[in-house]
């Protein structure tokens, strides 16, 4: 299961994470986000303990979206050791998403 990332927990859950963190910036009204959501949840389950998977609802966390320059959703951002390591915009197949972090495992 993915973790809800907010302004309040971003530093501890993302920047302070000991494992890579994949963040899905999404909104409930976004069709491609709804299509991507089950894939993100599947990745969260398969890589539990090795990759942390979180979701940022941009309607509820506009500050985080703005800070990351999100202009289109869904956008996936990978953090590794507190640093942004990769970014992908738009719905993508599972293997394309996994390829963002596979080399870090």
pLDDT digits (tens, 9 = 90+) for 66-90: 999 999 999 999 999 999 999 999 9
Kindly name the residue from 14, 22, 23, 30 that is annotated as catalytic.
30
pLDDT of 17 above 90:
yes
Residue 89: the pLDDT is: 97
Residue 6: the pLDDT is: 97
pTM of the model: 0.96
85 carries an active-site annotation: no
pLDDT of 62 above 80:
yes
Look at domain 3-104 and name its CATH class: alpha beta
Sign of CA dihedral 82, 34, 61, 7: negative
Domain ranges of the chain: 3-104
Which residue is listed with tokens 């969260």?
44
Q: What is the C-alpha separation between 37 and 30, in angstroms, rounded?
A: 11
Length of the chain: 105
What letters, b where the CB count within 10 A reaches 16 and e where it falls short, cover 7-42? Answer: eeebeebbeebebbbbbbbbeeebeebeebbebbee
pLDDT of 103 above 80:
yes
Kindly name the residue from 22, 23, 33, 56 that is annotated as catalytic.
33
Burial class of 49 by CB neighbour count within 10 A (0 to 12, 13 to 18, 19+): exposed
Q: What is the C-alpha separation between 40 and 22, in angstroms, rounded?
A: 9
Residue 3: the pLDDT is: 95
30 carries an active-site annotation: yes
């Amino acid at each position: 299961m993915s973790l809800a990332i907010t302004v309040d927990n971003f530093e501890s859950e993302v920047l302070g994470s000991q494992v890579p963190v994949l963040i899905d910036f999404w909104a409930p009204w976004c069709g491609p986000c709804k299509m991507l959501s089950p894939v993100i949840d599947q990745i969260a389950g398969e890589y539990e303990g090795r990759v942390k998977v979180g979701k940022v609802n941009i309607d509820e966390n506009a500050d985080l979206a703005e800070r990351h320059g999100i202009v289109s959703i869904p956008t996936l951002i990978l953090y590794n050791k507190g640093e942004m390591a990769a970014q992908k915009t738009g719905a993508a197949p599972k293997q394309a998403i996994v390829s963002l972090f596979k080399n870090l495992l």
